[in-house]
Amino acid sequence: MDEPGFSLRNATVAIVGLGLMGGSLALALLSKNACAKIIGIDSNEATRTQALACNVVEEASDDLSAAARADVIVIATPARTIIDLLPRVGTIARENAIIIDLGSTKREITQAMEALPAHVQPIGGHPMCGKESSGFAAADANLFHSATFALTPLARTSAATLAFAQSFAETIGARPLVIDAERHDQIVAATSHLPYVVASALMATADKISQDEELLFRLAASGFRDTSRLAASDPTMMIDILLTNRVNVIKMLQQYAAQLNELTDLIDRADAAELRAHLRTIAESRQKSVGTPSPVISSGATRSVSDHD
């Protein structure tokens, strides 16, 4: 297929999964009047009823075959469910339909996409945005605004389909980034999946300590809340992410453990100058890469803005 044969404006879009991501996508498309029709497909009757009542979708079904009428099929479910659904989607999809997913990992999903019938055009997708809350009730039309939207084309993905996907991302306010699926998974293991595991370990540690120290959470201020925030993420979604990117996540955890060991040794040696130099390097790296000003660590007595100011 060299051309999709349709524009987003006149396309019927089927969204499989009306949780946070799928519901937000439906709202974003609706707010932009971006397509001709939105079909919502979800197994949860309450979600379908709510989506219809809010006029977010024109049609709602629990039957995947409803996607057979769509020009664009977006699968917005957890990663392993995407992999399970792809063969069925390929069976029912119409000629020249574009199939895109919103999964947080890409290598295993794009591998599954390779087996789709030749008459459809698949491309992997991952909007780099989200919330700790999940479900249709948390959906937000502005969720994708200014977010990076990773696109991982397959070898079989046509230039026209890639261009369509880039335009699709831009329409909902995101910034498309074309990247290889394996490279994507390696990077997000460090920037997204490792932080979740670290936050979960931090929360588990604090929870265990709190069993013997009742004041722990009363003394936990914004620093603890910020660093443990990701531990509140939907476990079902995160299990799928960790298991479909487990090799990369384990590598990142091993590197992180090495960094923790180094810091442990520095603190144990009680060499203030050596510890200060190490922490200064880390602070400067944070400021340079992320852009948030870091506290100034001087050679003398220090004081920075903290939770207690």
Helices and strands (H and E) in the chain: how many: 11, 8
Q: How does pLDDT run across 70-90, given as a tens digit for each residue?
A: 999 999 999 999 999 999 999
Q: What is the band of 302 on the pLDDT scale with cuts at 50, 70, 90? A: very low
99 with 125: CB under 8 angstroms? no
Is residue 257's pLDDT more than 60? yes
Is residue 3's pLDDT more than 90? no
Report the chain's mean pLDDT, rounded to a whole number: 91
CATH numbers and ranges of domains, the chain: 8-179 (3.40.50.720), 184-290 (1.10.3660.10)
| Rounded mean pLDDT, 248-273 | 96
Q: How does pLDDT run across 262-283, given as a tens digit for each residue?
A: 999 999 999 999 999 999 999 9
pLDDT given at position 6: 79
| Rounded mean pLDDT, 40-58 | 95
Beta-carbon neighbour count of residue 276 at 10 Å? Answer: 15
Query: What phi and psi values does residue 200 have, to the nearest 5 degrees?
Result: -65, -40
Q: Is 156 buried (19+), middle (13-18) or exposed (0-12) by CB count in 10 A?
A: middle
Neighbouring residues of 131: CB distance < 8 A, sequence distance ≥ 6: 20, 138, 140, 143
Phi-psi region of 145 (alpha: psi -120 to 50; beta: other; left: phi over 0): beta
Exposure string over 182-197, b if 16+ CB within 10 A, otherwise e: eebbbebbeebbbbbb
Q: How does pLDDT run across 205-233, given as a tens digit for each residue?
A: 999 999 999 999 999 999 999 999 999 98
Query: What phi and psi values does residue 36 have, to the nearest 5 degrees?
Result: -75, -35
Q: How does pLDDT run across 171-198, given as a tens digit for each residue?
A: 999 999 999 999 999 999 999 999 999 9
- Beta strands 175-178; 121-127: pairing state: unpaired
Distance, in Å, from the CA atom of 162 to the CA atom of 159, rounded to the nearest integer, reads 5
80 with 88: CB under 8 angstroms? no
Q: Residue for token digits 């100034």?
A: 296
pTM here is 0.86
Is residue 296's pLDDT more than 50? no
CA dist 298 → 155, 276, 281, 293 (Å): 52, 8, 12, 15
136 with 18: CB under 8 angstroms? yes
Q: Residue for token digits 């990247």?
A: 179
pLDDT given at position 1: 42
Is residue 103's pLDDT more than 90? yes
